[in-house]
Chains A and B, each alone.
Chain A
Amino acid sequence: AQSVTQLGSHVSVSEGALVLLRCNYSSSVPPYLFWYVQYPNQGLQLLLKYTSAATLVKGINGFEAEFKKSETSFHLTKPSAHMRDAAEYFCAVSPQGAQKLVFGQGTRLTINP
């Protein structure tokens, strides 16, 4: 069965610093991979997704993620954090040919002024 592990339930960075949120998946076949963001008291919205095209995926709000098959990873990065990036971030996986998503536990990102 597909699974996703997000390393670190809480990440804290200073404003302007690099953001790195880690995600590893388990699958024998490269799946579809997603990053979603949840702002307080809201639903989830898509940041970016990998669907077997380019391995470096650019998303909204300056975020990007790189698919590394050899490491079964899909880490999310942003070069310079803004206060508005404070939110909960979820990595999710969907097997190829399936419509369901399996979510990681989430990482809460805090931005320090």
Chain B
Amino acid sequence: DAEITQSPRHKITETGRQVTLACHQTWNHNNMFWYRQDLGHGLRLIHYSYGVQDTNKGEVSDGYSVSRSNTEDLPLTLESAASSQTSVYFCASSESKGGGNEQFFGPGTRLTVL
């Protein structure tokens, strides 16, 4: 069965360190998205990609970067982790044809920045 996986599931790091969160999907979807979930804010879009070599900034992109070298993966990098980036991060993917497409979500990565 197709799926979307994230690793690690839990991560503790220190302020200033670079951190990369992995996202891998086997749906063969062109669209991939990264969100962060914080209490009272719902999910907010960090970055997204509509295909290989395509990346776009979302609502809360400062301090984050992504790259898309193949269809399956969209790693999220925190260049210099800050305590404000402590959050739960979700990756999602969807088809690109038409509109109103369901996004399929990974299980999430809980990141703590000390």
Contact = CB atoms under 8 A, between A and B. Distances in A.
A is bound by B: yes
Sorting the interface of chain B by its residue count into under 10, 10 to 19, 20 to 34 or 35 or more gives 20 to 34
Given A49-B102, A90-B43, A105-B40, A99 B50 contact: yes
A9 interface: yes
Given A43-B106, A44-B105, A100 B99 contact: no
Given A42-B107, A43-B106, A94-B99, A103 B44 contact: yes
A48 B79 CA distance: 37
Contacts of A44: 43, 90, 92, 103, 105
A104 B42 contact: yes
Interface of A: 6, 9, 32, 34, 36, 41-46, 49, 51-52, 90, 94, 96-106
9 interchain residue pairs of minimum CB distance: A43-B105, A51-B100, A32-B100, A103-B42, A103-B43, A44-B105, A105-B42, A46-B102, A106-B42
Given A6-B42, A102-B45, 9 more contacts: A41-B108, A44-B105, A46-B102, A49-B102, A99-B48, A101-B33, A103-B43, A105-B41, A106-B42
16 contacts: A32-B99, A32-B100, A43-B90, A43-B105, A44-B103, A46-B102, A46-B103, A94-B100, A97-B99, A99-B50, A99-B99, A100-B33, A102-B45, A103-B43, A105-B40, A105-B42
